[in-house]
Structure 1
Amino acid sequence: MTHSLVVRPDGMGDVLLAGPAVRAVAAGSDRLTLLAGPRGADVARLLPGVDQVLCWSPPWIDPTPAAVEREEVERIVDDLAGRGIDRALVLTSFHQSPLPTALLLRMAGVPWIGAISEDYPGSLLDLRVHPPGDVPEAERALELARAAGHDLPRGDDGRLRVDVEVPDPVEWRPGRRPRVVIHPGTSVTARAWPPGHHAELVAALAEQGADVVVTGAPSEATLCARVAGDEAVDLSGRTGVAGLAAVLASADVVVAGNTGPAHLAAAVGTPVVSLFAPTVPAERWAPYGVPHVLLGDQDAPCRATRATTCPVPGHPCLSSVTAQDVIRAIEKLTTSGGGTP
């Protein structure tokens, strides 16, 4: 009986992009546990192949980290030590080190650990894979799984996937097409399209006969109400992750920034108009495995800075994108089958 652990303690999008690697590891394991952070635990429970989700926020990963507390570290070490884990893969993004997590796993007695690591790991890793360069995050994680001897089962196309068994909470209006979901919120302001642009888009789509739904977290209610106006249905704060996935699955196209719901749309197979600020590489983080159109100046001065607040006055990389640009992208995805797969 092989009990495997996959570690991906990041946000919703990070966990979703780990999905193909998780399925590969699950195919070669009797049991798979996923260690996720609080921002990714809910969607982790929707990933095929996951038997159990543990939730913990490593202070060397979380963007708003708590202090490193000995008692808390010892608690998670003791928890992991009692689970009979045989093998662990530590999934990271290109800017993260797996070594603090590997140390924690060694302290918990995990006998075999693999990770992608730029740095010399000493005895912390049994499998060290060198960074593969600018590849999509889903493929980066899957490359590690394959190096560890795990591959996708026959018939698995390697795309993102979630298991959703909840009804669609949207009553789409008959005869109105396309069905468009707009998600205006982002985890950081540097990735956000201006609210006024979103509101202009909603008004233009409604005038053209589209059916529009606006989604967001409870904390984004004010933003979503402004964007929805009187022309769209405002679902902010009214869906959990599974309900949001059901809404996205029933849409013809999703408009979102580089944020978790864009990857959730990809996981349910819905095309995405991606309002993508170049603070991180689109080669790694664009919607994976579905038709999409990337909008935003990818050569802007903020390119590859990983800035959370736009360093350029006026936020030109995204503010230069107009509502009509988005409408043309929607038309491309919904009428001609265009977009990048």
Structure 2
Amino acid sequence: MNVLIARPDGIGDLVLALPVAAQLRELIPGVHIGLLASPVAAPLLDHHPDVDYVRAVSLQAPVRDLVKTLSGEIDAVIFLKPFRRLMWAAWLARVPIRVATGFRWQSVLANRWINEHRSGFARHESEYNVGMVKGLGLTPIEASRPRLVVTDSERAQGDRQWGGKAGRRVIIHPGGVSARRWKPEHYRDLANLLARQGYPVILTGSEAERVQFQREVLDGVSLDEGIRNVMGRLSVRELMGLIATSQVVVSGATGPAHMAAALAVPNVSLFDPRRNNLPTRWKPLGRGVLLRPDVPTCEICVGEACSYWDCMDRLTVSNVSMQVAQVIQSTAPLSILHL
């Protein structure tokens, strides 16, 4: 059976789709497993033992390109998120089995439905995802922790990025657009503080994030000599190799946090208090600590109109640096702290 798992959007979303591939490998003898990913995220899947092939496509591609991507002896496609144009393309491509959630108008384009609301945020995204295999007549088993694979050469290349500095290596990733961010100046000050304390620090991010970070907090400001800034200079695979050779990754609720967890590297993750960013649903599935302001959960961020508009500033540079030190020395599972 040839099954395609569709999640062509964010890096973190794709990482949390991997337990579905593990389920299929376990439950269907001889299954051929594909993953439909965005062009940016697709390289994450290289060398993965549960993924036989990868198809990359942009959700903004013309429908004819989407149809072509979903054609070619695919027996079933599982839509982990019901993207309308993608489901329309699968219908046009006549994929025999099309599994999706119910309750949406585009659900009519599927022919197997999982009638479960995710809006309650009662479970982790990976658990919701593995539940989708019920659309193939399977009984889900416990979701495994996502894992990613780096080669020895990628790990060696990542190791060279540290310039021979060993131990207590910290990656700081100030970017991320899907969640309310910790202020860029806090990330800068954290990097400087950790470097003064003797930690080797590397800043990572995309080219767009590099430009924004430079403009907002680095123009006219010097970084400590113990900090290396590689924002905008690494491919996804190179970032994976770098993360694999670090001791902790500090970031917001963004893709590299899930990458780190899948590479068995601890996190210090900074989550905002919005309901659609609840740790119950989106926490990295690994070791470390998740920091969240000790304020009421809100539906949306309304900025200064909110009584707690400064919520993320409650996560101070000093507190985050202390958590970095503790996480490096700990082997405990991820914990959640409200500060």
Q: Are 2:150 and 1:164 aligned?
A: yes
Q: Kindly tell me: are residues 312 and 250 of structure 1, through their superposed partners in 2, closer, same or farther at Cα, counting changes over 3 Å?
A: farther
Q: What SS is found at the alignment partner of 1:277?
A: coil
How many angstroms does 1:191 deviate by?
A: 2.5
1:285 to 282, 297, 309: 282
Amino acid at match of 2:133: A
Residues 307-322 of structure 1 aligned to structure 2 (within 5 Å): 310=303, 316-322=310-316
Amino acid at match of 2:293: D
Distance 1:170 1:233 in 2: 13
1:143 to 104, 109, 131: 131
How many angstroms does 1:242 deviate by?
A: 1.2
1:35 paired residue number: 36
2:92 to 84, 87, 107: 107
Residues 176 and 253 in structure 2, CA contact (< 8 A), matched pair in contact too: yes
Residues 66 and 86 in structure 2, CA contact (< 8 A), matched pair in contact too: no
Q: Kindly tell me: are residues 317 and 44 of structure 1, through their superposed partners in 2, closer, same or farther at Cα, counting changes over 3 Å?
A: farther
Q: Deviations over 1:99-136 (max 9, x none)?
A: 65433312211111212233374462224342364211
Q: What SS is found at the alignment partner of 2:239?
A: helix
Q: Deviations over 1:287-337 (max 9, x none)?
A: 11x123122326356x342x5x95658952222211111122112212243
Residues 228 and 234 in structure 1, CA contact (< 8 A), matched pair in contact too: no
How many angstroms does 1:15 deviate by?
A: 0.4
Residues 10 and 36 in structure 1, CA contact (< 8 A), matched pair in contact too: yes
Q: Which runs of 5+ in 1 are unaligned?
A: 60-65, 67-71
Between stretches 276-285 and 117-126, larger displacement belongs to 117-126
Q: Kindly tell me: are residues 168 and 150 of structure 1, through their superposed partners in 2, closer, same or farther at Cα, counting changes over 3 Å?
A: farther
Q: What SS is found at the alignment partner of 1:233?
A: strand
Distance 1:200 1:284 in 2: 30
Distance 1:177 1:141 in 2: 36
Q: Spell out structure 1 runs of 4+ moving beyond 6 A.
A: none
2:170 to 165, 171, 180: 180
Q: Are 2:126 and 1:126 aligned?
A: no
1:246 paired residue number: 241
Residues 11-50 of structure 1 aligned to structure 2 (within 5 Å): 11-27=10-26, 28=28, 30-45=31-46, 47-50=48-51
How many angstroms does 1:147 deviate by?
A: 5.2
Q: Kindly tell me: are residues 48 and 118 of structure 1, through their superposed partners in 2, closer, same or farther at Cα, counting changes over 3 Å?
A: farther
Residues 7 and 80 in structure 2, CA contact (< 8 A), matched pair in contact too: yes
Q: Deviations over 1:46-89 (max 9, x none)?
A: 64422322222335xxxxxx8xxxxx2134224423x0111111
Residues 55-74 of structure 1 aligned to structure 2 (within 5 Å): 55-59=56-60, 72-74=62-64
How many angstroms does 1:159 deviate by?
A: 0.9
Between stretches 275-284 and 222-231, larger displacement belongs to 222-231
Identity rate, percent: 29
TM-score, reference length from structure 1: 0.81
Residues 57 and 69 in structure 2, CA contact (< 8 A), matched pair in contact too: no
1:295 paired residue number: 291
Q: What SS is found at the alignment partner of 2:158?
A: coil
Distance 1:229 1:312 in 2: 37
Amino acid at match of 1:243: E
Q: Deviations over 1:148-198 (max 9, x none)?
A: 355789xx971111121113334436675421111111125x532112211
Amino acid at match of 1:215: T
Q: Are 2:221 and 1:220 aligned?
A: no
Distance 2:159 2:117 in 1: 42
Higher-helix-fraction structure:
2
Between stretches 175-184 and 234-243, larger displacement belongs to 175-184
Residues 63 and 85 in structure 2, CA contact (< 8 A), matched pair in contact too: no
Q: Are 2:258 and 1:257 aligned?
A: no
1:86 paired residue number: 75
How many angstroms does 1:241 deviate by?
A: 1.0
Distance 2:68 2:125 in 1: 31
Q: Which runs of 5+ in 2 are unaligned?
A: none
Q: Kindly tell me: are residues 12 and 298 of structure 1, through their superposed partners in 2, closer, same or farther at Cα, counting changes over 3 Å?
A: farther
Q: Kindly tell me: are residues 99 and 196 of structure 1, through their superposed partners in 2, closer, same or farther at Cα, counting changes over 3 Å?
A: closer
Residues 74 and 95 in structure 2, CA contact (< 8 A), matched pair in contact too: yes
Q: Deviations over 1:30-52 (max 9, x none)?
A: 42222222342232446442232
Distance 1:185 1:240 in 2: 15
Q: What SS is found at the alignment partner of 1:9?
A: coil
TM-score, reference length from structure 2: 0.82
